[in-house]
Amino acid sequence: MKTQPLGVSDVRVSRVAYGCMPLGGGWDRSPVTPAIQKSAITTVRAALDEGINFFDHADIYCKGKSEEVFAAMWNEVPSLRGKIILQSKTGIRFGGEPDARDVTRYDFSAEHILRTVEGSLKRLKTDYLDVLLLHRPDVLVEPEEVARAFDDLHQAGKVRWFGVSNETAPQLELLRHYLHQPIVTNQVQFNVMHTHMLDEGVNFNQYVNRMARNAGTIEYCRLNNITLQSWGSLVNGRVTGRRVENPTKAHTDTTALVAEIAKTKGVDPEAILVAWILRHPAKIQAVIGTTRPERIKAACQGDGVDLSREEWYRLYAAGRGEGLP
């Protein structure tokens, strides 16, 4: 597995990262069973075997249980902590907690950031996070407060590097204006069927029905050496065998094309999905979230697949469901 720098940080990360969201078994407060723990260990071992050195968490994944089960790896693989890059996130609060009337909301207050990082460190049984991300933009963000929380965490040796997730270029610009710590990554939804960050540039100056405004986020991150991380990298299996209710033409065409290109390259379809992300010159790090060792192996083959410009654009057009202007 090839590695690359993560933004301006001093860490080198595997081009494919493992997303630990499903490891805890379920999004509830039921205790971790031995079966869930065993399955998590098998999955993480499979990722390590493929050369993955980067593990993505969030305080909320499976209500904390994903971080909790991951901590078993310190006993499974002695000296692992110093060899991997551990990322977690903060900032999303569940509806119904602590008050039944509370709705799902975002919270970048210093109090919330500091308290949740303590929780992550405790569950992960580690003294520090390599990277901490703000999970989803808080509409009520006070950037000076975020700066203070980040400085406190950095000075205490609890977090080495900082990043964001699902943020537009202007949101990043606002935050970076106040922060003393660099932003090294922005984790966003991106895959062959979720191409809005690219479509925006392609559809410039045209009337289109299907247009999400991303404010030049991909260009902003490239210009400022902020590594993009893609979530949903495997399209949740929807073009590699998972049953899709009422598939669109884009689904059907992409599924067929991914299978065809995989066959010509002698790899599994998941490898083509990952290779499509890695082929973009922004050097996007692909975060995969399958729990199955065989799919982790299949996806990691993508690191060794070179897609031609023509193959890449055919996949892009298929995933968009329409040709380019």
Binding mask 176-205 for ligand NAP (x = CB under 6 A): -----------x------------------
Residue 98: is the preceding peptide bond cis (ω within 30°)?
Answer: yes
CB–CB of 220/249 below 8 Å?
Answer: no
Stretch that binds ligand NAP, among 16-24, 110-118, 119-127, 200-208 (CB under 6 A): 16-24
Binding mask 137-166 for ligand NAP (x = CB under 6 A): ----------------------------xx
Among 9, 120, 171, 291, the residue binding ligand NAP under the rule CB under 6 A is 291
Q: Is 60 in the site for ligand NAP (CB under 6 A)?
A: no
Closest to 178 measured CA to CA, from 143, 141, 154, 148 = 143
Q: Is 218 in the site for ligand NAP (CB under 6 A)?
A: no
Contacts of 115 (CB under 8 A, 6+ apart): none
CB–CB of 64/125 below 8 Å?
Answer: no
Smallest separation, CB 287 to ligand NAP (Å): 4
Smallest separation, CB 62 to ligand NAP (Å): 10
Stretch that binds ligand NAP, among 124-132, 235-243, 275-283, 307-315 (CB under 6 A): 235-243
Smallest separation, CB 183 to ligand NAP (Å): 14
Q: Is 231 in the site for ligand NAP (CB under 6 A)?
A: yes
**C-beta closer to ligand NAP: residue 187 or 227:** 187
Q: Is 265 in the site for ligand NAP (CB under 6 A)?
A: no
User: Could you give the 3-state DSSP secondary structure of residue 19?
Assistant: strand
Q: Which two tokens stand for residue 113?
A: 């950031």
**C-beta closer to ligand NAP: residue 158 or 295:** 295
From residue 36, give the alpha-carbon distance in Å to each of 23, 40, 78, 156, 193.
8, 6, 21, 33, 31
Q: Is 237 in the site for ligand NAP (CB under 6 A)?
A: yes
* Helix (DSSP H) and strand (DSSP E) numbers for the chain: 12, 12
CB–CB of 235/192 below 8 Å?
Answer: yes
Total residues at interface with ligand NAP (CB under 6 A): 25
Smallest separation, CB 17 to ligand NAP (Å): 8
Please give the backbone phi and psi of residue 103, each rounded to the nearest 5 degrees, phi first: -100, 165
Q: CA–CA separation, 259 vs 241, rounded Å?
A: 10
Q: Strand locations in the chain, DSSP E?
A: 3-5, 12-14, 16-19, 54-56, 85-90, 92-93, 105-106, 129-134, 159-165, 183-189, 227-231, 285-288
Among 159, 183, 192, 234, the residue binding ligand NAP under the rule CB under 6 A is 234
CB–CB of 270/298 below 8 Å?
Answer: yes
Smallest separation, CB 273 to ligand NAP (Å): 8
Smallest separation, CB 40 to ligand NAP (Å): 12
Q: Is 254 in the site for ligand NAP (CB under 6 A)?
A: no
**C-beta closer to ligand NAP: residue 165 or 214:** 165
Q: CA–CA separation, 139 vs 300, rounded Å?
A: 36
Task: Tell me which residues touch ligand NAP (CB under 6 A).
Answer: 19-22, 56, 165-166, 187, 231-237, 240-242, 287-292, 295
